[in-house]
Amino acid sequence: MIDQAFIELSKIVFIVIIVAGIMKLLRQPLIIGYVFTGILAGPYVLNIVSSTTTISTFSHIGIALLLFMVGLNLNPKIIKDVGKVSLITGLGQVIFTSLVGYFILKLLGFSTIVSIYVAIALTFSSTIIITKLLSDKGDLETLYGKISVGFLIVQDLVVILILMIISAIPSGMNLIDLAVGTVLKGLGLIVFLFLLSIYVMPQLIQKIAKSQEFLLLFAIGWCLTLASLFYYLNFSMEIGALLAGITLAASPYRHEISAKMKPLRDFFIILFFILLGSQMVFVDISQYIIPIIILSLFIIIGNPLIVMILMGALNYTKRNSFLAGLTVAQISEFSLIFIALGVSVGHLSNEILSFVTVIGLVTITGSTYLILYANKIYSILSKYLKIFERKGEKVDEHKYHKENVYEIILFGCNHMGHDLIDSFKKMKKKFLVIDYDPEVVVGLAKKKIDCRYIDIGDYEALNELDFSKLKMAISTISNTDTNMMLINKIRESNKKSIIIVVSEQIDEAISLYKKGATYVLMPEFLGGSHTSAMIERHGLDVDKFLKEKVSHLTYLKNRKTLKHRHPKRRK
């Protein structure tokens, strides 16, 4: 049995390498390749997936690790900041989609019971797919990324409750007792984990972190233990893994944990998408072609619209509303589980499961492209989205400056940015800091530093900045397209300004120079350049090197007090 599972896994990995390679050549999202690998390996094509239990176990590990890492970025401050908008948009979208979906299904001639089931199934968006896409884009730390994860978690809680109710119907369980027991158990667990994260975890992690290998082992064990505990108590493993991450979110070692677990997460989560593709059910559904098209368009267009309307009403900018809205333009793996549960209790036929499966495939594929190319789509549609934005100051602008003209503007206040700010202060120049993380911006504002929340990918927001008298612009962001756009924007009104940007590839650095960059900083080569300059300065004088050591240790200790433990760059 184990040998068979090993051979099957080897075959699947071989196929996914080929499909992923083709996707890379065609510049298509790899997630789509993973799902199609599952379809190829499934019963309708190659039929090589028989050890589904083993692969399912691996995929669940991937899901747990993914949501654990999402939880690492959801500290209590962030939950407080985006809790209201996440709750309103999450519940609002579920109510809107289920009600409108029900009436659409009735108009298409479906029975009442089928309309109820399918309408509810259409309301859920995939937390797993969205968090993977946002992570790949480097957008989990952005405001819209945090809001999106927030309302997806709200949806997950709703679907878990619904699945528990449906599961209880055939067994004749008392729904009131079930609900009360669930709520009490859930509250007890949350309170226990909250106390644990405050009084136990900080001291424990500090001792464990002395060994990097043990830190990784503990993180994996903590994630899987809580996920299993929640499953044992009839909750979702996903919620358990997410809360495991949240309990460590305030730890200064969260970046080390996240960096070490990422390769492990990526491998196991690939198996989830392959399993999802292999379990898709296809029968003759020619009679459902029109409903599939109508409902797929409803999900891809209608769900983002309701999120944009709700976030606009809450006084968010149209850009954050639009980007967050695109994250709900697909149905979830929970939708397929929900329909399959309806089939198992005798409420639905297998044809309906196939019908919803095709909608899932269409919307997952469509939304993947929408999310990956969201910035380009927004630049085309932005002028038509004003109806979703209220007039006046927005809650997500985070504008902490009064002047419009600055000598220096810093884009991206990561670890490199803090050194630059110190230099600007010594130069006694007027400077402005721009960052896409609202938490960073608020922290800078508390230090009386002129700053503003702007995602540099938002071309319209850059129009509000005056570059005409700018002496220097520095971007610490390593995304080449973003830096190209920024250089172009500055050069439109200022040909003489010094523009310094970051790049990680030689060819891209050359392109940035051609575009108009004054200097391109390449971190990969910076260490060697700095060391060679130091050797030329000090020769073989050990005393001078020891002085450098003392100076560097002082610098590192200062960084440690600022909780700068692992550099973060937006890809």
The pLDDT value recorded for residue 294 is 94
DSSP string, 14-37: HHHHHHHHHHHHTT--HHHHHHHH
106/48 same-domain check: yes
SS3 399: strand
Structural domain for 489, as ranges: 399-561
The neighbouring-strand residues paired with 500 are: 474, 519
For residues 91 and 154, is the Cβ–Cβ distance under 8 A?
yes
Q: How far apart are CA 384 and CA 33, in angstroms?
A: 33
Do strands 451-453 and 399-400 pair parallel, antiparallel, or not at all (unpaired)? antiparallel
Pick left, alpha or beta for residue 567 (phi over 0 → left; psi -120 to 50 → alpha; otherwise beta). beta
Residue 483 forms part of a structural domain? yes
Verify that 150 and 117 share a domain, yes or no. yes
Q: Of the residues 334, 366, 388, which one is the last residue of a structural domain? A: 388
In a domain, 337, yes or no: yes
Q: Is residue 566 in some structural domain?
A: no
Structure token digits, residue 337: 């589980």
At 502, the amino acid letter reads V
Domain boundary among 349, 369, 388: 388
The per-residue pLDDT for 571 is 47
| Domain co-membership, 184 together with 268 | yes
Supply the pLDDT for residue 181.
64
Distance from chain centroid for Cα 397:
21
Residue at 251 is within a domain: yes
Residue 305 in contact with residue 93, Cβ under 8 Å?
Answer: no
**79 and 185 share one domain:** yes
C-alpha of 438 from chain center: 16
CB 208 within 8 A of CB 214: yes
**Is 394 within the bounds of a domain?**
no
Q: Does 372 lie in the same domain as 223?
A: yes
* Cα gap 371→294, rounded to integer Å: 21
pLDDT of residue 4: 76
What is the value of pTM for the model shown? 0.71
- 3-state SS, 92-142, equals HHHHHHHHHHHHHHHHCCCCHHHHHHHHHHCCCCCHHHHHHHHHHHCCCCC
Q: How many Å apart are CA 463 and CA 461, to the nearest integer?
A: 5
User: Does the residue 287 lie in any domain?
Assistant: no
Determine contact, residues 410/474, Cβ cutoff 8 Å: yes
For 278, the token pair is: 């292999």
Q: Are 370 and 423 in the same domain?
A: no
Q: Is residue 570 part of a domain?
A: no
* Pair 207, 312 in one domain: yes
Instruction: Give the chain's domain count.
Output: 2
Q: Which residue among 388, 413, 434 closes a domain?
A: 388
How far apart (Å, rounded) are the C-alpha atoms in residues 490 and 554? 37
Residue 264 to residues 128, 178, 272, 297, 350: CA-CA distances in angstroms? 16, 37, 13, 35, 36
Which two three-digit tokens encode residue 469?
């008298």
Asked if 102 and 33 sit in the same domain, the reply is yes
Cα 411–414–418 angle (5° rounding)? 90
What whole-number distance in Å separates Cα of residue 288 and Cα of residue 352? 9
DSSP SS3 for 70? helix
Q: What is the pLDDT of residues 413-452, one digit of tens each?
A: 876 777 788 888 888 888 999 887 777 887 888 888 888 8
Is the domain of 404 the same as that of 471? yes
Is 452 in the same domain as 481? yes
Q: Which CATH number fits the domain that encloses residue 242?
A: 1.20.1530.20
Q: What is the pLDDT along the chain (571 residues), one digit of tens a residue?
A: 567 778 888 888 888 899 888 888 877 777 778 878 888 887 777 878 776 677 778 878 887 887 788 777 666 666 666 778 888 888 888 899 999 999 999 999 899 999 998 999 898 888 778 887 888 777 777 788 888 888 887 887 777 677 666 655 555 555 556 556 666 776 777 788 878 877 888 888 888 888 888 888 998 999 999 888 888 877 777 778 888 888 887 777 777 788 788 888 878 878 877 777 776 666 666 788 899 999 999 999 999 999 999 998 888 888 889 999 999 898 887 787 778 777 777 788 878 877 888 888 889 888 888 988 888 888 888 888 888 887 766 766 677 777 778 889 999 887 677 778 888 888 888 899 988 777 788 788 888 888 888 777 676 777 778 888 889 998 988 888 888 888 988 998 888 899 998 888 888 889 999 899 999 888 777 777 778 888 888 888 888 888 888 888 887 777 666 655 544 444 4
Residues with Cβ within 8 Å of residue 391, at least 6 apart in sequence: none
pLDDT in tens, 128-156: 788 878 887 777 777 888 888 888 878 87
| Domain shared by 351 and 420, yes or no | no
Q: Which element (helix H / strand E) includes 403?
A: none
Q: What is the CATH number of the domain that holds 425?
A: 3.40.50.720
DSSP classification of residue 405: B
CB 382 within 8 A of CB 404: no
pLDDT given at position 165: 63
Domain co-membership, 58 together with 25: yes
Structure tokens at 489: 């924007």
Question: Is 184 among the domain residues?
Answer: yes
